[in-house]
Chains A and B, each alone.
Chain A
Amino acid sequence: MALELTSIQEIVLANQAAGYSPQWEPVRTAFLSQLQKIGMPKPRSSAFFWVPLSLLQKINPKPTAVPKAAPSPVVPSQVAPWTVQAQTQNDIAAILPALLATSPLFIDVKASADWQVISLDGDSSYVHTIAHVASGAKVRFLWKNATPGTAQVFSAQRLDLQVSEQAEVEIIEIIAESPTLSAMRHAHIEIGANASVRWLGLDCGAQLSRTSVDAHLCGSEAVFEIRALSILDQSAQSHRRIQVYHEAPGVRSEQFVRHVLLGSSQASCDTLVEILKGVTATKAHQLVNSLLLSPDVKASAKPTLIIHNDEVEASHGTTCGELDAMQLFYLESRGLSQADSRQLLLNAFVRALIETHPTSPASAEVTQFAQATMQRRFPE
């Protein structure tokens, strides 16, 4: 007999224990329908709380747990502690895959990996990937929903990534133009000493996308860089929440987000860096630029630094506006037409972000996607 639960945490644990069951599909569907009706965070209220789980309590019917069945797959000991940690986070994208009884996919990247390419299943609705990258390994994760002809409506995907010392990780995230898709993604990343994670994201315009990232720089000299670009039109929405924790000396982080907004699109970016007590010789930079190309677009940015130390270098900034009038005049004063000048500046705005990411075969794909999207949005 089904048991009605009031605690999301209980639901998660119960569902995870039960595994997937087709009989729960109607409940799941009703739940998702209600979830989509919650809509976007409202300005001045919950805009930066990233859909607190308390909202889920308002859903009717409530999601219901199933009786215990077969045990879930065995979780490797090295990842078990942080899967539990991630589940307790107050973030819908983190918790949905577990809530929907997805069995985790485990990936173990060996130390010998030399830019091994791993595709995360971006086209599936509910995916929970747990990856461990061994010391010194080099790996590239491709996280994209770019398969032609795939008509997703809702997806909730989660990546738990543990990066051992001296490993190098590149994450390429692409959300292709998908006017019917609501995509939620969450990544929980722990980075060891002298290891690096460099993330390049591109959102070409889903109906709604939310990406949340928690990055923990756990080992000394660890590096986390994220560069993300949203090129949106019509009523597309793109929302990012990026939280980076500096937990060891000498670590460095960079957050660089740009929005190109047309139609009545909306984008928000909530970035946080917290430098813990005793963490010295560390650097953190945040920058969010939003280009507003229509009177009906909306952008919000909330860069936050929480610093518990003196010996740090940290900065944050945000800009919001139209194309730079002085740059336009400069180009036109050299004989370029106004249309060509605008095109050049728009493409430059996009390129300037991508070019700060180290060049790789995968970043070239991001460039191609971005260029194709820009050409569709701004035909010559």
Chain B
Amino acid sequence: MLKIHNLKCQIPDGTEILKGLDLEVKAGEIHAIMGPNGAGKSTLSRVLSGHPDFSVTSGTVSFLDQNLLELDVSARANMGIFMGFQYPTEIPGVNNLQFMRMAVDAKRKYAGLEKISDAEFLALIDKWTAVLEMDTRYRERGVNEGFSGGEKKRNEILQMAVMQPKLAILDETDSGVDIDALRIISQGINNLMSPDKAIILVTHYQRLLDLVKPHKIHVLRAGRIVLSGGPELALELEKRGYDWID
């Protein structure tokens, strides 16, 4: 599904953040990317989403056999890439529910489909707000406006649920949430996973990986993936940190 080869990117001041990153994610897989602060984990998420502050200087990224780097931000989303933000942005004045509906319709338009019907959309919202144990009042508020940290993360998963992406990149979805919220969010993620989809979890902690079982763990350090392994690698990292990795 996703193939990244020798990806290098820099920020506007010329600093190189990713320095030759390789990664392959197949349908049906959950990958976790771990690593110390400043390793480039969030940068990878943003580069895959098309954030304009990061310029790719070399390498290739293919998604569903298409050159992802040629697509703008919205086209990537409509093709099936979803980024769950570490710090979801508040947008006062943009109604949360209407925004999600616009997102769904944009994706359907991209796929050549009709707009979603009222009944279908509301059924989708009802189902997932129940799974995520979200209060209905969050539907009427501005996007993430006045939400707590945990509510914002739930709202991210709700958006992911209504958009039904092929590949979800969840950037520190577990940060700033309490244990109960993490359990609910993880339940949502697990419910959304299917054999034709894939998930990349960017995280610092094992606790998320206890609830969402990854197939592969990667250690990202200084802009490169320096170590990959199975779920047991996360446990070892929890015990030993990153200093032992060359």
Contact = CB atoms under 8 A, between A and B. Distances in A.
B110 A329 contact: no
Contacts of B49: 329, 333
A352 B88 contact: no
B73 A332 contact: yes
B176 interface: no
Would you list the 3 A-B pairs with minimal beta carbon distance, nearest first? A348-B93, A352-B93, A335-B106
B115 to A, nearest CB: 13
Contact of B74 (A335, A349, A351, A352): A335
B103 A330 contact: no
B78 interface: yes
B77 interface: yes
Given A329-B73, A340-B102, A335 B78 contact: yes
Interface residues of B, number: 30
Interface string B68-93: 00001110111000110100110111
B163 A334 contact: yes
5 contacts: A330-B91, A331-B94, A333-B49, A334-B77, A335-B110
A350 interface: yes
A327 interface: yes
Interface in A307-338: 324-327, 329-338
A327 B89 CA distance: 6
Mostly, the A contact residues are helix
B107 interface: yes
Contacts of B142: 348, 352
A334 B74 CA distance: 7
A53 interface: no
Contacts of A349: 93
Contact of A348 (B50, B94, B103): B94
Interface of A: 324-327, 329-338, 340-341, 344-345, 347-352, 355
A324 to B, nearest CB: 8
A345 B94 contact: yes
Nearest to B106: A335
Given A332-B73, A335-B110, 10 more contacts: A329-B52, A333-B77, A334-B77, A334-B163, A335-B103, A335-B106, A340-B106, A345-B94, A347-B93, A350-B93
Contacts of A327: 89, 91
B17 to A, nearest CB: 17
A348 B92 contact: yes
Interface string B99-111: 1101100110010
B51 interface: yes
Contacts of A325: 52
Contacts of A332: 50, 72-74, 77
Contacts of A347: 93
Contacts of B74: 332-333, 335-338, 341
Contact of B83 (A333, A351, A352): A333
